[in-house]
Amino acid sequence: MPAEPSVSPSRVGVWLIGARGSVATTAVAGCAAVTAGLRPPTGMVTETDAFHEAGLPALSSLVFGGHDVVDCPLPKRAETLAAGGVLPPDLPSAVAAELAAADREIRTGGPLPGDTRSEDELVEALAHDIRDFARRCGAARTVVVNVASTEPVPTGAALPASSLYAAAALRAGCPYVNFTPSMGLHHPRLASEAASCGLPYAGRDGKTGQTLLRSVLGPMFAQRALTVRSWSGTNLLGGGDGAALADPAAAAAKNAGKERVLADTLGTVPEGETHIDDVPSLGDWKTAWDHIAFDGFLGTRMVLQTTWQGCDSALAAPLILDLARLVARAHEVGLSGPLSELGFYFKDPVGEGPAALGEQYADLVGLADRLRASERAPGPGDPPAGRGAPDGFQGQRR
C-alpha cells in the first residue's frame, strides 16, 4: 500500500459541496487546463497583476475532493458539459486524469432519505470526510466551498443540509465559502460557532451575471443623479439551477440577493420584481433581461434595457478558483472571521462593505496588498513556533 503524502505547506485542498455538479466539474477541469497551459486563465481575477506576489497558492498546488449525493463520475460529467458547449470539445480527454483523481476523492453527502443519524452525528461524519481528505492529500489547509444547488429557506429549527456542511467545515478546522444563496453559515444556530472558530469565511451567493451588471448600473444611476422609477428582471435558466429554482421558496432566496444590490446601490427600493423561469432546454446557459425606467432632467422619462446571455458554470468556475486561493491565503496568514473584502464576488456578502462593484474591487485589491505584506502563520507540519509566538496566533486577524 503506497504511503500517504507528507503534509506540504504549499498544497491546498479544495473540498467542494456539490462536487459532481456543473460548476464544480468546470472548476476542476479548468484548473487542470490552465495549469497545463492548455487554456488561458480568462475570468480569474487572481491571475491579474494586482494579485501577483500576494502569496496565493499556485493553481498547480490545488487538490480537489468533495461531497455529493449523485454518482455521475466527473469525467462523464465533463463529457456532457463539452457536448453542451460549456467545455471545449477536446478538454475532457486532455484532463481526464485530473478529473478522475478528483472524482476518487468525492464522498457521499447527506442527509439522504431515511437517514436516522442526529445532526451532530451527520456533522461529525461530514467533518471526518474532510479531515481524511486533507490527511490523504497532505494538504496544509483545506478550503470548503459550497457550490450545491440552492435549497429553500428553512422554516423550522433543524439545520438544513447547507448548514450541516458549514458546521462540518468549522469542525474540521477549515475556512468556508458559501457560493450559493442557501443558509450555510448564516443559520442563527451557527452564529456563535462562526464567531469563535478562529477561521476565515466568505459568502453568500456568487455574483456572476445579472446581479454583477446591476452592481455596476445601480451606482451609475445614483452617481449621475438619475431617478430610477422601476427595475424589473427576468431570468431564464436551465440545468440543475433552473430545476432547483423552479421551487418558489428557493427562487425567493435567490431573488433576495438580486434586489438587495439595487436597494444598497440606489439608496431606495424601486418598483418591479425579478422572476426566474426554468427552461430545461437551455441546459447550463442562461438569459437575463432587465427593464429599467428612469427620469432624466425635467422629468423626462427614459428606459434602459439590458440582455445578458451566458454560461453560468463558465462564469462561476474561475471565481471558485479565485476564492479558494484567496481564502486559503487569508487562513495561512492568520485572518479570521467574515472576509468582507471578498464582497466583490457575492450578492449578499458577509461582514460590512460597499455594494457597488468598483468599491468592492478596491477593497479586494486592498486585501491583496495586505496578503502581500503578511508573513505566513504556522500551519500543520511546521516546526513548533519559537519562544515569543503569541498563543492562538493561527486564526487571529492581524
Confidence of residue 154 (pLDDT cuts 50, 70, 90): confident
Q: Which residues pair with 79 in a beta bridge?
A: none
Asked if 230 and 322 sit in the same domain, the reply is no
Task: Please give the pLDDT value at position 104.
Answer: 98
Specify if 348 maps to a domain: yes
Each residue's pLDDT tens digit, 347-376: 999 999 999 999 999 999 999 999 999 866
Asked if 306 and 328 sit in the same domain, the reply is no
Of the candidates 273, 291, 311, which is a domain's last residue? 311
Asked if 257 and 348 sit in the same domain, the reply is no
Q: What CATH number is given to the structural domain containing 43?
A: 3.40.50.720
Specify if 383 maps to a domain: no
Query: Quick one: the chain helix, strand, coil %, rounded to 5?
Result: 45, 20, 35
Asked if 55 and 200 sit in the same domain, the reply is yes
Q: Is residue 393 pLDDT above 50, yes or no?
A: no
Q: Is residue 390 pLDDT above 50, yes or no?
A: no
Asked if 92 and 220 sit in the same domain, the reply is no
Percent of the chain predicted with pLDDT > 90: 77
**Arithmetic mean of pLDDT, 273-291:** 90
Asked if 130 and 154 sit in the same domain, the reply is yes
The lowest-confidence range among 72-81, 192-201, 284-293, 370-379 is 370-379
DSSP 259-283: HHHHHHHHSS--B--EEEEE-GGGT
Of the candidates 271, 287, 311, which is a domain's last residue? 311
Confidence of residue 276 (pLDDT cuts 50, 70, 90): confident
Confidence of residue 94 (pLDDT cuts 50, 70, 90): very high
Task: Please give the pLDDT value at position 275.
Answer: 87
Confidence of residue 381 (pLDDT cuts 50, 70, 90): very low
Cis peptide before 5 (omega within 30 of 0): no
Alpha-carbon distance of 106 to 15, in angstroms, equals 9
Asked if 187 and 226 sit in the same domain, the reply is no
Sequence-ordered alpha helix ranges (H) in the chain: 22-35, 74-83, 91-94, 96-104, 119-137, 161-171, 191-196, 210-223, 239-245, 248-266, 312-332, 357-373
Residue 338 carries which side chain, given as an amino acid letter?
P
Specify if 393 maps to a domain: no
Specify if 341 maps to a domain: yes
- Nearest C-alpha neighbor of 228 from the set 270, 262, 259: 270
Asked if 100 and 225 sit in the same domain, the reply is no
Sheet holding 227-237, edge to edge: 274-278, 227-237, 285-295, 301-311
Q: How far is CA 301 from CA 168, 217, 227, 230, 297, in A?
A: 52, 17, 10, 11, 9
Alpha-carbon distance of 66 to 310, in angstroms, equals 26
| Contact between residue 209 and residue 315 where contact means Cβ atoms under 8 Å apart | yes
Asked if 179 and 232 sit in the same domain, the reply is no
Q: How many domains does one find in the chain?
A: 2
- Nearest C-alpha neighbor of 11 from the set 105, 173, 139, 132: 139
Q: Which residue has the higher pLDDT, 156 or 55?
A: 55
Task: Please give the pLDDT value at position 395.
Answer: 31
Asked if 175 and 41 sit in the same domain, the reply is yes
Scored b (16 or more CB within 10 A) or e, 298-333 reads eeeeeeeeeebebbbbbbbbbbbbbbbbbbbbbbbb
Residue 339 carries which side chain, given as an amino acid letter?
L
The dihedral built from the CA positions of residue 330, 336, 341 and 343, taken in this order, carries a sign that is positive
The predicted model scores a pTM of 0.89
SS (H, E, C) 96-124: HHHHHHHHHCEEECCCCCCCCCCHHHHHH
Specify if 128 maps to a domain: yes
**Arithmetic mean of pLDDT, 11-33:** 98
Task: Please give the pLDDT value at position 42.
Answer: 97
Each residue's pLDDT tens digit, 36-51: 999 999 999 999 999 9
| Contact between residue 356 and residue 265 where contact means Cβ atoms under 8 Å apart | yes
Confidence of residue 2 (pLDDT cuts 50, 70, 90): low
Specify if 379 maps to a domain: no
Cα dihedral 30, 31, 36, 37 in deg (nearest 10): 60
Asked if 303 and 325 sit in the same domain, the reply is no
Structural domain boundaries, residue 12:
8-206+314-373
Going by their DSSP bridges, the two strands 62-68 and 106-108 should be labelled as parallel
Asked if 318 and 289 sit in the same domain, the reply is no
